[in-house]
Amino acid sequence: MSSAAAEQKPGEIAFRGLITLSIMLATIMQVLDTTIANVALPHMQGSLTATQEQITWVLTSYIVASAIMTLPTAWLAGRFGRKRVFLVTVGGFTLSSVLCGLASSIEQMVMFRILQGCFGAALVPLAQATMLDINPRENHGKAMAMWGMGVMIGPILGPTLGGWLTEYYNWRWVFYINLPLGIIAFLGMLFFMPDSDRIKRPFDTFGFLMLTVVIGSAQLLMDRGEHAGWFESREILLYCALAGSGLWMYIVHSMRTEHPFLTPAIFKDRNLMTSLVFIFFIGIILLATMALLPPYMQNLMGYPVLDVGIIMAPRGIGTMIAMMIVGKLTNHVDPRGLMLFGLLCTATSLYAMTGFSTYVPPHTIVWTGMLQGFGLGFIFVPLSTVAYATLAPQYRAEGASVFSLSRNMGSSVGISMVMVVLSRSMSSNHAYLTENITAESLGIGTHQIPTSVLEGANGALLLLDAEITRQAATIAYLSDFKLMMWMVIAAAPLVFLLRRNAPAPAAA
């Protein structure tokens, strides 16, 4: 369905608001599930009698299944129609969410999470392509701002909502909450979304299988690397070998086949290719910071889970404010300037976070998080608009699929990267701090240590080691914040490779 055709359908114009509401509910439902289940894992582990290694597959299975099934979205929408694919995926995602809530064993939970990931994979790219198609070009900035709110705010609010549901109800409600959202989205699409044109295109089975191997192996490598010991583990080496060989075979196959799985034309578009690299970096910053702050506040500062959620909520508020502003500015201001401003805000917030301590006041965490969310909002909306500015309309669904995949891969790489740096920095920092530390060098006399501690064997040394460990962990967290700050700065030159909004080329 071309954008021109979409704009000429009076039914679609008349019900644009209801269509937007339906696809936004579906988007929020899907992206929310990437983080909402994280805080409920300890409760799931006890209820399902699972080991620590087994419970991690609740997250890994969903991420891998979602990543693999993102790519065939464009082909499915062209073959069966966008409306039909939307209905099947929303219905399947809602049903599998209920099944996750009803799971009575870890095996059932992992199986239902795989189904949830498979059905949910198409929702975000299809929503983005539909928002672009049902809105005229001059309103694409506003459309991407609205779509971006769901994509960006969902992962931010996920831990807060998940913690609240787990604390006051039950971990199963983390999945049951999708039921009303899914029903409303399904009914809205059923009654108000018109069908799209069909595109007959052969399905490249071998190419899809090779990309499945590449993406699945890469995701498993990122998710399992820290637990398995990275390249000291045969499991991780196997994933590397599979990813490398699969990529090589896909490239060779695509150069020889008449209808490769991914249309080569989308990789010739400079804006889209630059945006894929850019959104990869943004994916790292978006979820890596969220993976670091909750344990920092809980383990080092002693905040309960609900307080952590409340303190992190302003980050989402900052994103919402930015997207409301930038949606109105996109058509009047060079989007590259807006992105540079967003990068400046994000880098400034991360720089401020490098000055955190174990006694940082809550308001400091609030304003740095809000500034960071504000900056990401100024990046995400113009990027989502410029990415398709020079791309032919018939390639939007495929481009949106690759765009979503790049963001998800960046998130996986970011979380794995910061956790590796954190773990290794803690060990090296602890060793460095203990080199010259003694009770005398710190001026600690026995009169300064509680008697109850001294009564235990080596009590004073244990107390000292605990504080050293705490400070070593603090320095490690700050090193991660600094690393992300430099990544934001390194991504800035990519802005100048983007072209300003221009009419998309005509269909070939």
Angle at the Cα of 254 from the Cα atoms of 391 and 60, rounded to 5 degrees: 80
pLDDT at 99: 93
Q: Which pLDDT value is given to residue 427?
A: 82
Instruction: Using the Cα atoms of residue 85, residue 158, residue 288 and residue 469 in order, give the sign of their dihedral.
Output: negative
Hey, what are 472's tokens? 């070593």
> What is the tens place of the pLDDT at every residue in 469-507?
888 888 888 998 999 899 899 888 888 888 765 544 444
Both tokens assigned to 171: 């971990």
User: According to the model, what pLDDT value does residue 333 have?
Assistant: 81
Span of 111-125, 150-164, 265-279, 369-383 with lowest mean pLDDT: 150-164
pLDDT at residue number 449:
53
- What is the C-alpha to C-alpha distance for residues 281 and 487, in angstroms, rounded to an integer? 7
Centre a 10 Å sphere on the Cβ of residue 390 and count the other Cβ atoms it contains.
18
Mean per-residue pLDDT over the chain, rounded: 80
Kindly list the domain boundaries of the chain, sorted by start residue: 1-203, 265-435+450-508
CA distance 459 to 456: 5
Domain 1-203, CATH homologous superfamily name and number? MFS general substrate transporter like domains (1.20.1250.20)
Give the pLDDT confidence of 245-302 residue by residue, as tens digits.
999 998 898 888 888 888 888 888 888 888 888 888 888 887 778 778 877 887 788 7
For residue 1, what pLDDT band results from cuts at 50, 70 and 90?
Answer: very low
**Could you say which architecture CATH assigns to the domain 265-435+450-508?**
Up-down Bundle (1.20)
pLDDT at residue 305, rounded to an integer: 67
pLDDT band at 5 (very low <50, low <70, confident <90, very high): very low
1-203 and 265-435+450-508: same fold? yes
pLDDT band at 6; cut points 50, 70, 90: very low
CA 276/CA 291 separation, integer angstroms: 22
pLDDT at 11: 41
Q: From CA 383, how far away is CA 278, in angstroms rounded?
A: 8
Report the pLDDT value the prediction gives residue 389, as an integer from 0 to 100. Answer: 78
- For residue 87, what pLDDT is reported? 92
